[in-house]
Every structure is written in structure tokens, then in C-alpha cells.
Amino acid sequence: MIELLEGARILIASVFVLFLPGFSLSFALFPKKDEIDWIERIALSFGLSIAIIPLLVFYSNFLFGIKINLITIASIVILTIFAGYFAYFKRKNQAFRSALPQKITKKHLDKQNIYSKANYGG
């Protein structure tokens, strides 16, 4: 039973460190769901996590003397996840804004209203 719990702990921790940071970053890179398929999403989640987390751990230790322990790793992972989702929402907002007409003025809307009335004979 203890071995099973230990195994589950390792599995959950591994997913947290080696999958979730990349998963959030993959949405920052490809915000639309249909931009990439699920295989690509999984691949990027593992790949980005395994590339970024050791690099960040190394730089934080080497440049700032931050100790390598579970708390540091958890902090780096959480920061990466938030950075990914922040970038995702930023990109999504940008995409939404760029989809709107450049200037929506009252005049513009009135004009559209007139045309639609004309079409319906109103």
C-alpha cells in the first residue's frame, strides 16, 4: 500500500514538473485548439517542460545562488505555468482585437443600421 502511494506521489509530481509547464506554454504558442493536434500538444508539453525547467533551475542556481530543492522547483514550475497562461490570454485578447474592425464609430454603426434597414425595406 505504501509503495502504491509512493508510486502515485511520484507520478503526480512528475506530471506537475514534466508536463504542466509545457502544457501551459504550448497554449501560449498555439492558442487555438485546432492549430495543432493532440499528439503535437502532448509532445510540446513534455518537450517544453523537460527543456525549460532544468535550464531555469541551472540559471537560478548559477546566476542567483538559489538552492536546488523541492520548493525552488515547485516555485519555478508554478511561475512557468502562470507565465504560459498569461501569454495565452494576452495572445487570445490580441487575436480577438485584431479580428474586430480597426475603428468602430457611431457613424460606422449607424451606416450599417441604415443598410440593414434598406435591405429589409424598412
Q: Which residues in this chain contact another protein in the complex, by CB under 8 A?
A: 6, 9-10, 13-14, 17, 29, 37-40, 42-44, 46-48, 50-55, 57-59, 61-63, 67-70, 72-73
The residue with cell 532544468 is: 54
Cell of 112: 450599417
Minimum CB separation of residue 108 from another protein in Å reads: 31
Alpha-carbon gap, residue 25 to 81, rounded angstroms: 7
Closer to another protein by CB, 58 or 115: give it.
58
Minimum CB separation of residue 92 from another protein in Å reads: 15
Q: How many residues does the chain have?
A: 122
Closer to another protein by CB, 74 or 114: give it.
74
Minimum CB separation of residue 85 from another protein in Å reads: 16
Closer to another protein by CB, 37 or 110: give it.
37
Closer to another protein by CB, 46 or 85: give it.
46
Q: Provide the 8-state DSSP code for 19.
A: T
Which residue type sits at 8? A
For 49, phi and psi rounded to 5 degrees? -60, -50
Which residue type sits at 45? S
Minimum CB separation of residue 25 from another protein in Å reads: 8
Alpha-carbon gap, residue 45 to 21, rounded angstroms: 7
